[in-house]
C-alpha cells in the first residue's frame, strides 16, 4: 500500500481538498486504484451538528456518515463511494467509536499504563489509517493501490499536532518508498510590486519540518504560474527538487486542476517517491479535458434562483451547486445562480428593508427555474413557501429538496385545500393541520446522528410521471437522506384528491419520498438529497430535469431515451437548439452582475 499525504500551510481555504481529489483523479488515470481519507482535527465526532456557516455543508454518505464536504469532492472527482470511517476526527479517536482510546482505557486494555497522546493516541490514528486504507471504495474486490490522506487545517494549529506526530511516525512505519508528502502552500503576489513572495511558504515548510515531516512535493497556490527564479528560490530554501514544485494557479473552473498536475508531471514526481516508475501508464484524461473545455466555452445562460437560508456562504450548498453545474454542462448551458435569502421574500422584509425585498422578488421573477434546498429552523421558511407558491402559480420549473419538498406540500395545503394554518410541527408544534410531522424514531434530546440518514430505497408509485421517466423508468431508486421530519401520512389522501401526486414512497408506502404536480411543466419535491450522488458526466436525473425544464427542453430530454444513461444524448451533442425560455421568448435572459445575489455564476463551482 502506498500513501500520499496532503497538508496545507500559511492560510486555510487554499484548496487542499480539490488538490487531494485531483491527485486521486490523476493517479486513477494512470491505472491505479485509489481511496481517500480526510482528517479533521476538531473535537466533534462528525460534521453533523455543525452550522453550515461554521463549516460549509454536511456531506452524507451511503452508510449514513455525516462528514466533511471534502469527502464530497473525493466522491465526485473520483466516482467512488466512501464510508464514515474515511473521515477521521479527534472525537472519533478519543471516544466516539467502539475500540476508541477512551473505550479501551475503560475496559483495561492498556493494563494499568498511563494513557498518553504518545503513544496511545498516535498509535490509534495510525491503526485507523491502515485499516480504512484497505477498504475498497470503487466497487471492485481487493485492496486499493494508493491512499490519499488530507490533513485538515493549517500547519501550526494546536489541535492538529497529535495527527502530525502520528503521520510522522506513520511515514517510518510504512517505510521509504511508500509515503509521499505534498504540501499545499500560498505564494502571494503583492499588487504594489507585482512580485511573487516565497517567504510564507518557506516559513510553512520550516514549521512542517520542525514537527517531523519533510515535504517531497510543493503545490504552490498563486494567481499566476510561478517564475523559474521563484521555483529555484523555493527549492533552495525548502529542500525540495525544482521539478517537484508544482504551480496551482487560478483557473476558470476546478476541472482544470488535474490537467495542471498532469501538465507539470506531478504524477511522475509522485511515482518517483513511491517507487512506482515503470509500473503505471501515462494518464488518460481525454474525457476530463473535454469536459473542462466545454465548461469554459459555454455562453447561453440558464438562471436558477436558489432560495435558501445560508445564501451568504456558497459552501453551505456545495453539492447542490455541483449537481446544477453537472446538469447544465451536460445540456451545454452556462449556469447562473441567483442567490436569494429566503427571508428577503417575506412581508416583514418589505417593511424593514424594501430594497432587499424588491431585489429578491426581481431575481425570483426573472429566474428560469427555482430551487429550494434543505435546511433546519424556522428562519426564512415563509419565504420558501412564497417561492414554492410563485413557482406553482406561474408554472416556473421548481425543485424542492428535503425542506424544499415539505414547504411545497405546506403551500399546497394552504392555497389549494384552504387550510390557512397548515404547517410543520417543526415550526408550529400546535398546528391543527400538521402537514409535516416529526418522525417517531427520531430523538428530540440528542442532535448528532439521530436523523434518518444514508441511502434508502424509494419505490415509484406511478410509471407515467416525470421523476420516473428521468430515472430511466426504473421501479425503484436508492438515494441519500438526512431529515427528522416527514410528510404526514394522514394528510396524503386529501392532498392527492386535490391534485398533488406522491409518485415515490418508501417500502412501507407510509413515508413520502417524491411529490409532483402532474399538470405543471416541472414541479418536483423530494425528501432525499439527489445532489450527493451527482457526478461530472453523470448528472443527477432530477437536476438534469430542472435545467432541461428551465430551458424548455424537458420533453426532448425525456423522449430522447428510455434509460437515464442516454437521456442527454440528443441535447448534449453540441447541436445548436433554439431555447424556449419560461417567459415565452427565445431571447436569452440578461446575465446580471448584482454582487449581492449573483456572485456565484458557475465559474468556480
Residue 185 CA to residue 187 CA, distance in Å, equals 7
Report the 3 state secondary structure along 404-425: HHHHHHHHHHHHCCCCCCCEEC
- Going through 281-440 in order, the beta strands assigned E by DSSP cover 301-308, 334-341, 369-372, 398-401, 423-424, 434-438
Residue 566 CA to residue 149 CA, distance in Å, equals 35
Residue 480 CA to residue 457 CA, distance in Å, equals 9
Q: Give the angle 594-305-68 at the CA atoms, nearest 5°.
A: 100
The closest alpha carbon to 256, from 217, 280, 278, 225, belongs to 225
Q: For residue 506, what is its C-alpha cell?
A: 418508501
Query: Is 350 one of the catalytic residues?
Result: no
For β-strands 2-8 and 179-186, DSSP reports them as parallel
Q: Tell me the C-alpha to C-alpha distance, in Å, between residue 89 and each of 21, 40, 44, 94, 201.
A: 19, 5, 7, 9, 26
Residue 213 CA to residue 595 CA, distance in Å, equals 42
Catalytic residue among 326, 481, 483, 529: 529
Query: Is 531 one of the catalytic residues?
Result: yes
Catalytic residue among 180, 402, 551, 600: 402
Residue 78 CA to residue 18 CA, distance in Å, equals 11
Q: 39 Cβ partners below 8 Å, 6+ apart? A: 88, 89, 149, 150, 151, 152, 160, 163
* DSSP three-state, residue 188: coil
Q: For residue 237, what is its C-alpha cell?
A: 530554501
Catalytic residue among 147, 516, 531, 600: 531
- The DSSP letter of residue 222 is E
How many CB atoms lie under 10 A from the CB of residue 546?
Answer: 28
Residue 97 CA to residue 58 CA, distance in Å, equals 20
The closest alpha carbon to 201, from 179, 223, 183, belongs to 183
Q: Could you give the residue numbers annotated as active site?
A: 402, 529, 531
Amino acid at each position: 500500500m502506498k500513501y500520499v499525504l496532503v497538508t496545507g500551510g500559511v492560510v486555510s481555504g487554499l484548496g487542499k481538498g480539490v488538490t487531494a481529489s485531483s491527485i486521486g483523479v490523476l493517479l486513477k488515470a494512470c491505472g491505479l486504484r485509489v481511496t481517500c481519507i480526510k482528517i479533521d482535527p476538531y473535537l466533534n465526532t462528525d460534521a453533523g451538528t455543525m452550522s453550515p456557516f461554521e463549516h460549509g455543508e454536511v456531506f452524507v454518505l451511503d452508510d449514513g456518515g455525516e462528514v466533511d464536504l471534502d469527502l464530497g469532492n473525493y466522491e465526485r472527482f473520483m466516482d467512488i463511494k466512501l464510508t464514515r470511517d474515511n473521515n477521521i476526527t479527534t472525537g472519533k479517536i478519543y471516544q466516539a467509536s467502539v475500540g476508541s482510546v477512551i473505550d479501551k482505557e475503560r475496559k483495561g486494555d492498556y493494563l494499568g499504563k498511563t494513557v498518553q497522546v504518545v503513544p496511545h493516541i498516535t498509535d490509534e490514528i495510525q491503526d485507523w489509517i491502515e485499516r480504512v486504507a484497505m477498504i475498497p471504495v470503487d466497487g471492485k474486490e481487493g485492496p486499493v493501490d494508493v491512499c490519499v490522506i488530507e490533513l485538515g487545517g493549517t500547519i501550526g494549529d494546536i489541535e492538529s499536532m497529535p495527527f502530525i506526530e502520528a503521520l510522522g511516525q506513520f511515514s517510518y512505519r510504512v517505510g521509504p518508498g511508500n509515503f509521499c508528502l505534498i504540501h499545499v502552500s500560498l505564494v502571494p503576489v503583492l499588487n504594489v510590486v507585482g512580485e511573487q513572495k516565497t517567504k510564507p511558504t518557506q516559513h510553512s515548510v520550516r514549521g512542517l519540518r520542525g514537527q517531523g515531516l519533510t515535504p517531497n512535493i510543493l503545490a504552490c497556490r498563486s494567481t499566476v504560474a510561478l517564475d523559474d527564479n521563484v521555483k529555484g528560490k523555493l527549492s533552495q530554501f525548502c529542500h525540495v527538487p525544482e521539478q517537484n514544485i508544482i504551480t496551482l494557479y487560478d483557473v476558470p473552473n476546478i476541472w482544470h486542476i488535474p490537467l495542471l498536475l498532469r501538465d507539470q508531471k506531478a504524477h511522475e514526481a509522485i511515482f518517483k517517491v513511491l517507487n512506482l516508475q515503470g509500473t503505471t501508464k501515462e494518464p488518460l484524461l481525454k474525457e476530463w479535458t473535454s469536459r473542462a473545455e466545454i465548461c469554459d466555452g459555454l455562453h447561453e445562460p440558464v438562471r436558477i434562483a436558489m432560495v435558501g437560508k445560508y445564501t451568504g456562504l456558497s459552501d453551505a450548498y456545495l453539492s447542490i451547486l455541483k449537481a446544477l453545474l453537472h446538469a447544465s454542462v451536460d445540456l451545454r448551458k452556462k449556469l447562473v445562480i441567483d442567490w436569494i435569502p429566503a427571508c428577503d421574500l417575506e412581508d416583514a422584509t418589505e417593511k424593514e428593508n424594501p430594497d432587499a425585498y424588491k431585489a429578491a422578488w426581481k431575481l425570483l421573477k426573472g429566474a428560469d427555474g427555482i430551487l429550494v434546498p434543505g435546511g433546519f429552523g424556522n428562519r426564512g421558511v415563509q419565504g420558501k413557501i412564497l417561492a414554492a407558491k410563485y413557482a406553482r402559480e406561474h408554472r416556473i420549473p421548481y425543485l424542492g429538496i428535503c425542506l424544499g419538498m415539505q414547504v411545497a406540500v405546506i403551500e399546497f395545503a394552504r392555497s389549494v385545500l384552504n387550510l390557512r394554518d397548515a404547517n410543520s410541527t417543526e415550526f408550529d408544534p400546535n398546528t391543527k393541520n400538521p402537514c409535516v410531522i416529526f418522525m417517531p424514531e427520531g430523538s428530540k434530546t440528542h442532535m448528532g446522528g439521530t436523523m434518518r440518514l444514508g441511502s434508502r430505497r424509494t419505490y415509484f408509485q406511478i410509471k407515467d410521471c416525470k421523476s420516473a421517466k428521468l430515472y430511466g423508468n426504473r421501479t425503484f431508486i436508492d438515494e441519500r437522506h438526512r431529515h427528522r421530519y416527514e410528510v404526514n401520512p394522514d394528510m396524503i389522501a386529501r392532498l392527492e384528491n386535490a391534485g398533488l401526486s406522491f409518485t415515490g414512497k418508501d417500502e412501507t408506502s407510509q413515508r413520502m419520498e417524491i411529490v409532483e404536480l402532474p399538470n405543471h411543466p416541472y414541479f418536483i419535491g423530494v425528501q432525499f438529497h439527489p445532489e450527493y450522488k451527482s457526478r461530472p458526466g453523470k448528472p443527477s436525473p432530477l437536476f438534469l430535469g430542472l435545467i432541461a425544464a428551465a430551458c424548455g427542453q424537458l420533453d426532448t430530454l425525456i423522449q430522447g431515451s428510455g434509460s437515464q444513461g442516454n437521456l442527454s444524448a440528443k441535447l448534449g451533442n453540441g447541436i445548436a437548439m433554439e431555447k424556449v425560455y419560461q417567459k415565452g421568448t427565445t431571447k436569452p435572459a440578461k446575465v446580471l452582475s448584482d454582487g449581492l445575489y449573483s456572485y456565484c455564476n458557475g465559474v468556480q463551482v
